[in-house]
Amino acid sequence: LKSNPSNNEEKEAQNQLTKSDELQRLHSQALSAYQQEDYEAAISLLDEILAVCVWDAELRELRAECYIKEGEPSKAISDLKAAAKLKSDNTEAFYKISRIYYQLGDHELSLSEVRECLKLDQDHKQCFSLYKQVKKLNKQIESAEEFIREGRYEDAISKYETVMKTEPEVPIYSTRAKERICHCLSKNQQATEAIKLCTEVLQLEPTNVNALKDRAEAYLLEDMYEE
């Protein structure tokens, strides 16, 4: 205003001041909702603030935390990716993105994100520990898939059993491993075992197309045409 004391400028300045007060009030409410674990309310308040403060990395990280708590991992990833771009050396955002992908069973994307974290800080303890785990699992899965391509079904089964031992905590890896073992058993003419394992997978994921196809193949081997 000192540089250009016109009426228009003054109105604009007053508007911006009023808006900034309003945003600070919303920010306090959002933090309070987050602390009270009312994540839905926090998200709705943060939406309002971020519509104006588009480039605020901290607010995006806070909204990502709320999305994680609300079971919306893909929305959390999108906020964390923005936060990783907005704040240089944001190892924390890359670590969180990698963890979410890992929990979702996307080990390849998890590996590429955790590598980004280590590029920024090769001594980052959490990232390094996650990197070792994801890399090991990734290697085992790739090796099992290679065996399947070569028709070495016994070897593939054994490798997928190792995958289940490597990651017993995240259920999706066991389910995927069982789905692939069922495929190998079916291809290996071990119909009874294939039917049993595919049924296990289908109890967890009734619409799993691969398990349905492999169980159908196994039923054919047993002449169980109705099934």
Q: What is the DSSP string of 130-199?
A: HHHHHHHHHHHHHHHHHHHHTT-HHHHHHHHHHHHHH--SSHHHHHHHHHHHHHHHHHTT-HHHHHHHHH
Contact partners, residue 83, CB within 8 Å, separation at least 6: 57, 58, 60, 61, 64, 90, 93
Q: Considering the domain boundaries, does residue 177 fall inside one?
A: yes
Q: Is 191 within 8 Å of 162 (Cβ atoms)? A: no
Structure tokens at 137: 């699992």
Per-residue pLDDT at 1 exceeds 80: no
Per-residue pLDDT at 136 exceeds 80: yes
pLDDT of residue 38: 97
Q: Considering the domain boundaries, does residue 91 fall inside one?
A: no
Q: Considering the domain boundaries, does residue 131 fall inside one?
A: no
The CATH number of whichever domain residue 213 belongs to comes to 1.25.40
Range of the structural domain that residue 183 is part of: 151-226
pLDDT of residue 14: 87
pLDDT of residue 5: 77
Q: Considering the domain boundaries, does residue 162 fall inside one?
A: yes
Mean pLDDT confidence for 183-210:
97
Q: Considering the domain boundaries, does residue 98 fall inside one?
A: no
pLDDT of residue 9: 83
Per-residue pLDDT at 81 exceeds 80: yes
Distance in angstroms (rounded) separating the CA atoms of residues 165 and 158: 11
- As to burial, measured by CB atoms within 10 angstroms (0-12 exposed, 13-18 middle, 19+ buried), residue 103 is middle
Domain count, the chain: 1
Q: Which tens digits make up the pLDDT trace of 9-54?
A: 888 888 888 999 999 999 999 999 999 999 999 999 999 999 999 9
Q: Is 98 within 8 Å of 114 (Cβ atoms)? A: yes
Structure tokens at 163: 């995958």
Structure tokens at 22: 């309003």
- As to burial, measured by CB atoms within 10 angstroms (0-12 exposed, 13-18 middle, 19+ buried), residue 3 is exposed
Distance in angstroms (rounded) separating the CA atoms of residues 35 and 20: 23
Q: Is 38 within 8 Å of 8 (Cβ atoms)? A: no
Question: pTM for the complete prediction?
Answer: 0.88
Q: Considering the domain boundaries, does residue 187 fall inside one?
A: yes
Q: Considering the domain boundaries, does residue 191 fall inside one?
A: yes
Per-residue pLDDT at 174 exceeds 90: yes
Q: Considering the domain boundaries, does residue 161 fall inside one?
A: yes
Mean pLDDT confidence for 60-84:
97
For 194-201, the CB contacts below 8 A with 24+ separation are 194/218, 195/219, 195/222, 201/175
Number of Cβ within 10 Å of residue 118's Cβ equals: 18
